[in-house]
Structures are given as structure tokens and as C-alpha cells.
Copies of this chain bind each other. A is one copy, B any other.
Amino acid sequence: MATNIADSGTSYSSLFARRNDVFAPSIWTEILKLFQRHPEPVYFGDGSPDRSLIPLDRLREASMRAWDDAPEYLGYGDQQGYEALRHLIVERMGEIGIQADASRILVTSGSSQAIDLACRVFLEEGDAVLVEDPTFLGATELFRAYGARIVGIETDDSGMRMDSLEAALRAEPRAKFIYSIPTFQNPTGTTMPLDRRQRLIDLARQWNVAVLEDDPYVELRYAGSPVPALVSLDPNVIYLGTFSKTIAPGIRCGWSYAPAEVHRLMLANREVADISNDRVMMRTAYYAARDFLTEHVKKTLPVYANRRNTMLAALDEHMPEGVSWSRPDGGFFVWITLPEHCDATVLSEIAADNGVIYFPGKWFFPNENCHNTLRLSFSTVPESRIVEGVRRLGETIKGAPGI
């Protein structure tokens, strides 16, 4: 604030917007500390595809091909995303039963940016966002940075509970949207069945709130049958996809598919925020998706499926009584519930001493109200290490006070 103070010692902190008060120290600081407790920990924290599976030579070829036309496109442009890529995204969405339209696809810097753009479109300070409790940490941090209140909706083995959702909608006059990861949810791994999805859509319509469907893992199914996306039940759903889990997170390429009026505003916000995605990498993603991505994903499925099966079998073998876990049909995560009196955050340090690192569940609860849960990711860990890590975790839990 402009005040005549002659010499202020120059700290800008009095000028900062209140929205910045939400930023806590990064969880990565905590994780790095855990890594210092054992020489060779098994790391169950990574929410990425396994980098050793990335088809590097073919990606490099795709990138080379992208540079061929570079003189035509290296200026400003492609704010909505490279047109051929948008058409290919529509084709890929068609393969999972979503009828989309390339004119309403917006290519974004990962689906994170698509969530951010949706926030810009919908959120004012004091608005409420309804989320699965627990949910993706990055999303709730972002909602908070817009001054939104996070309303956690109770979940069970089938995802968000509809009685809880209805009660929240009744209680929240400022609810703007429901943020859901209905398929292979992060962090629980659960999938919402069709009847519940239909109910969610009906409730959203009834209470006139928007729905943001975050669907990063849908192509990574190892068991069970596909369930229709929320957006295929209601074209008003704002759908978010990404290449982060099928190609690699480092290329920062995701997308949104939104109703026309929402799309228009997300695009307007994107143009002022950072104009467009990197234009070379949009074309690299295009050639990758056109030439080999489907085949590549097919090849990775058995690898991830084996890791999931190995993890579930190891849990059966090594977990003491009183511990339960999810059995995901896809994605990267298994969600563990310890006996009520165990604190998974406290235990994480002992576990790290014993050579296994996981994400304490409380990070995923917007209100940090659940201490006895934890997330294991199997996507980047070879099978023998999964067995060893789960064994170490079992030992740790067995040794915890009161077990």
C-alpha cells in the first residue's frame, strides 16, 4: 500500500495479497528428510509413470518430426492448442466412450493448469469447492489459493458418498463446483460405479453446481470393466485429461474439454496467463499420440498390473491384522488404513528408518482429519522392491505401539 515512509527497509511483505497466506512449507521438504534416514529406501511416493518405460527413442523421433515445420509456428499462436493435436485428443476420448468436439478442447500445461483455469473461471473468495475426502493434494492447495473453502465429502470403497454430497450441497449456498477423480482416484485408487456417477450428475444439476472431472489414470486399467466418464453422462461436465501418466509428466501436456461458455473463459484466462503451451512439445505430443501412444500404453499395462498384483499379494502376506487396503482396478495407488490408534505421520519416520517411504494420508485430507491412513504408489517400483518395501512396512506397523 502506498504510504510515504521515506525509507522502509524495503520489505514487500505488507504488499502481499492475502491469498498467499495458504502456502505451507512444501511436502517435498518432509519427503527429502525421510530419504536421509536409510541408505536404500523403497520409495512408494511417486505418482508418475515409470521413467524406464518411457519410449524415449520414439519420443525423440516425434520431437525431431515436430521441428520440421518449426519455421511456420515458432511465433506466438496456438493459444487453444495445436489443432491436429486437439483432433487427436478427441479421437482418443472417443475410444473411452466420450464424444467430444475439438473446438472445445483447450491444451494446457498439464491438467494442473486446466484446474487452475477452472478456478479462474469459477472461484471468488469464500466460495466452496466440494471434493472427495481424501483427494489430490495439488488441487486442494490450488483451491485454497483462490480463497475457496474446501468441503470434504465422505468416501467409501466406491468413492464419494452421495448422501454426504447431497448434505453438503444443501448446506453450502456458495458451492461452485464438485471436483472429482472418479476413476482410480488419487490417493485411494477407488472407482465410482455408474449408478453413483449418475446420482452425482443429477445432484449437480439439481443444485446448479459445475462438475470438474479429473481423469488422468483412465487409460491405465488392469482389471474390471470400464465405467463411463461423468462427461459422457452429461456434456456440461468439465473434463480434464493429460499425457502425464501415459507419456511423461515432464512434457507438461494436458487438456480440458468444457461447455462452450466455460471453454471460452478458460481460453481467455489462458491467453492472458501464459498465452499457449510450448508449441514444439504440442507437436511432439501429437506425433507421439498419432504414431505410437496407444501401442505404448498397451505395453505398459501388464507391467503396472504385475506391480499392482505384487503389491496386493505382499500386503496380504505382510500386513498385521487390523490393517485394510483398497484393491484398485487401475491407476497407481493403493490406500492403506491402519488401526484407529496408529498415526501414519508419526510412523512415517520409523518406516523411513526401516527403509520404506510412503505419503501419510493426512496430506490428502483437506482438513487433515484422518491420521491413520497412508498412500502407496506402485507405478515406479520394480516387483522385487515392492515385496521388500511392503515387508519393511509390515515390520514397521507390527512394531508400532499398541499393535
How many identical subunits does the complex contain?
A: 2
Given contacts A56-B71, A122-B15, contact A76 B141 (CB under 8 A): no
For residue A122, which residues in chain B have a CB less than 8 angstroms away from its CB?
A: 12, 15-17
Determine which of B14, B46, B177 lies in contact with A15 in the assembled complex, contact meaning CB atoms within 8 Å.
B177
For residue A145, which residues in chain B have a CB less than 8 angstroms away from its CB?
A: 120, 269, 272
For residue A142, which residues in chain B have a CB less than 8 angstroms away from its CB?
A: 272-273
Chain A 240-265 interface mask (CB, 8 Å, partner B; 1/0): 00000000111111000001011001
Is residue A3 within 8 Å, beta carbon to beta carbon, of the partner chain?
yes
For residue A277, which residues in chain B have a CB less than 8 angstroms away from its CB?
A: 109, 252, 278
Is residue A271 within 8 Å, beta carbon to beta carbon, of the partner chain?
yes
Determine which of B11, B15, B16, B273 lies in contact with A209 in the assembled complex, contact meaning CB atoms within 8 Å.
B15
What residue of chain B has the Cβ atom nearest to residue A14's Cβ?
B208
Interface positions of A from 137 to 159, Cβ below 8 Å from B = 138, 141-142, 145
Interface positions of A from 106 to 129, Cβ below 8 Å from B = 108-110, 112-113, 116, 120-124, 127
Determine which of B47, B75, B251 lies in contact with A248 in the assembled complex, contact meaning CB atoms within 8 Å.
B75
Given contacts A15-B176, A56-B71, A278-B250, contact A4 B207 (CB under 8 A): yes
For residue A23, which residues in chain B have a CB less than 8 angstroms away from its CB?
A: 265, 268-269
What residue of chain B has the Cβ atom nearest to residue A48's Cβ?
B75
What residue of chain B has the Cβ atom nearest to residue A10's Cβ?
B236
Interface residues on A, range: 35 or more
Is residue A206 within 8 Å, beta carbon to beta carbon, of the partner chain?
yes
What residue of chain B has the Cβ atom nearest to residue A3's Cβ?
B208
For residue A210, which residues in chain B have a CB less than 8 angstroms away from its CB?
A: 12, 15
A8, B249: Cβ atoms closer than 8 Å: no
Is residue A38 within 8 Å, beta carbon to beta carbon, of the partner chain?
no
Q: Which residues of A contact B (CB under 8 A)?
A: 1-8, 10-20, 23, 26, 46-48, 51-52, 54, 56, 59-60, 63-64, 67, 70-78, 108-110, 112-113, 116, 120-124, 127, 138, 141-142, 145, 169-170, 172-177, 205-210, 234, 236, 248-253, 259, 261-262, 265, 268-269, 271-281, 284
- Return 25 A-B CB contacts under 8 Å, by A number: A2-B207, A3-B207, A5-B206, A5-B207, A8-B208, A10-B236, A17-B120, A17-B123, A17-B124, A19-B120, A19-B124, A48-B76, A54-B74, A59-B67, A59-B70, A60-B64, A75-B250, A77-B250, A109-B277, A112-B272, A116-B274, A138-B272, A145-B269, A253-B278, A278-B278
